[in-house]
Amino acid sequence: MSLRDRFMDELKAAMRAGEAARVSTLRMIQAKLKDTDIAARPGPPVDDAGIVAMLRGMAKSRAESVTMYRQGGREELAAKEEAEIAVIESFLPQQMDEAAMAAAIDAAIAEAGAASIKEMGKVMAVLRAKHAATLDMAKAGPMVKARLGG
């Protein structure tokens, strides 16, 4: 089942269950997806990998908002954003844990033949190509840098 179909099924189920917050978040996801499809024109609609990237961006922006709301003492808004993050993340693939991430980084370093920090870009490209959906690149960068002696 594609992510687009899952969005529709989840929206229908949330509407039947009367979950207003979930319905709102799912509608927001669908609106963002429509905007992304329009931006991709005249090409084909965004595929599942593009949808995952879009969802990651949505979750990241909401996480930043949570931080800002907490600094401003607005707990009710922070809680609302965290609820939206939970719905968005339910559609994302499971992230790698630390051990799996370390193993993937070691394999990418070996595949790229990297020996110094100057070749970090090659390693990151290999990681992005093989593990883009399940690897948090923001966490991987410092780990790659440490492995390469940076």
pLDDT given at position 100: 86
Q: What is the pLDDT of residues 33-83, one digit of tens each?
A: 999 999 989 989 888 888 988 998 999 999 999 999 999 999 999 999 999
**What is the length of the chain?**
150
Q: What is the pLDDT of residues 13-40, one digit of tens each?
A: 999 999 999 999 999 999 999 999 999 8
Amino acid at 84: E
Helix axes 120-131, 137-147, angle to 10 degrees: 140
Q: How far is CA 90 from CA 21, 56, 75, 84, in A?
A: 14, 11, 23, 10
pLDDT given at position 71: 95
Q: Is the pLDDT of residue 150 over 70?
A: no
Rounded Cα gap, residues 9 and 27, in angstroms: 12
The answer to whether the CB of 108 falls within 8 A of the CB of 119 is: no
pLDDT given at position 147: 86
**Maximum separation of any 2 CA atoms in the chain, in Å:** 56
Contacts of 53 (CB under 8 A, 6+ apart): 132
Mean pLDDT computed over 1-9: 90
Contacts of 143 (CB under 8 A, 6+ apart): 101, 102, 105
Retrieve residue 121's tokens.
């870009």
Distance in angstroms between the alpha carbons of the first and the last residue of the chain? 43
pLDDT given at position 139: 84
